[in-house]
Amino acid sequence: MSNTSTFNENEQATETQKLTESVIEKNEGENILLTNGTKEIDASESEDNVVEHTEKKNEWLDLLGSGAVMKKIITEGKPDSRPQRSEKCIINYCCLLEDGTVVDSTDNFKLNLGESDVISGLDVALGLMNVGEKCKLKIEPRLAFGSKGLPPKILPDTVVIYDVELVLVEPEDEIENLSVEQKKMYW
């Protein structure tokens, strides 16, 4: 048995590898990669964890557990920056049919979260996004345009795809700080 090319189990457990990456990745609560830094891991610790996490990141997430709103994160946003109900959100979006046909596309669209300013599926997803996040949503008809659709562009019972970016979140307006004209809009 040659000592030069083979490691015994003890040597292998103490051997380390350095990984450098520009994002924080987490797998089951453990930091795998650090922002612009390195983390030493045991050689016996599998690199499969990093590959597995990357694969999970590229998967569709079922936001409601029913398949009605599916989400695939394209770009992570700022952690812990999710909007709260009634806060003002500014989004960029593109609504498409499953065949790729663009139905609508708008930049800097303003809405108040949870106040029926957009279809239900989009509203649900926005509440689970962080500022700066970009994602793709697949929304079933019952949380999109339903059995009526939006003719002629969206037929009844059509699944829609949204490419969405949550650009900015601002606190809701305090009613006492609004002008008389602005208050009339609320009544």
Residues 26 and 107 in one domain: no
Give the CATH number of the domain where residue 96 resides: 3.10.50.40
Number of Cβ within 10 Å of residue 8's Cβ equals: 9
Is residue 175 one of the residues assigned to a domain?
no
The top-scoring range by mean pLDDT among 57-61, 66-70, 180-184 is 66-70
Residue 177 located in a structural domain: no
Confidence (pLDDT) at 176: 60
Residue 44 within any structural domain of the chain? yes
Number of domains in the chain: 2
The arithmetic mean of pLDDT across residues 149-155, rounded, is 96
Share of the chain above pLDDT 70, in %: 62
Beta-carbon contacts of residue 125 (< 8 Å; ≥ 6 apart): 63, 69, 71, 135, 137, 139, 162, 164
Question: Domain containing 23: what range?
Answer: 9-57
Residues 48 and 78 grouped into a single domain: no
55, amino acid identity: E
Which range is least confidently modeled, 144-148, 160-164, 170-174?
170-174
Does one domain contain both 44 and 86? no
How confident is the model at residue 181, as a pLDDT? 74
Specify whether 140 is located in the same domain as 118: yes
Long-range contacts made by residues 171-174, C-beta under 8 angstroms, separation at least 24?
171/87, 171/88, 172/86, 172/87, 172/88, 172/112, 173/88
The 10s digit of each residue's pLDDT in 80-133 is: 999 999 999 999 999 999 999 999 999 999 999 999 999 999 999 999 999 999
Q: Is 101 exposed, middle or buried (0-12, 13-18, 19+ CB in 10 A)?
A: exposed
Structure pTM? 0.65
Residues 77 and 45 both lie in one domain: no
Cα 59–chain centre separation = 11
70 is a domain residue: yes
The verdict on 69 and 129 lying in the same domain is yes
156 close to 148: Cβ distance less than 8 angstroms: yes
Say whether both 14 and 88 belong to one domain.
no
Same domain, 79 and 159: yes
User: Residue 183 falls within a domain, yes or no?
Assistant: no
* 92 belongs to a structural domain: yes
Q: What is the mean pLDDT of residues 22-38?
A: 36
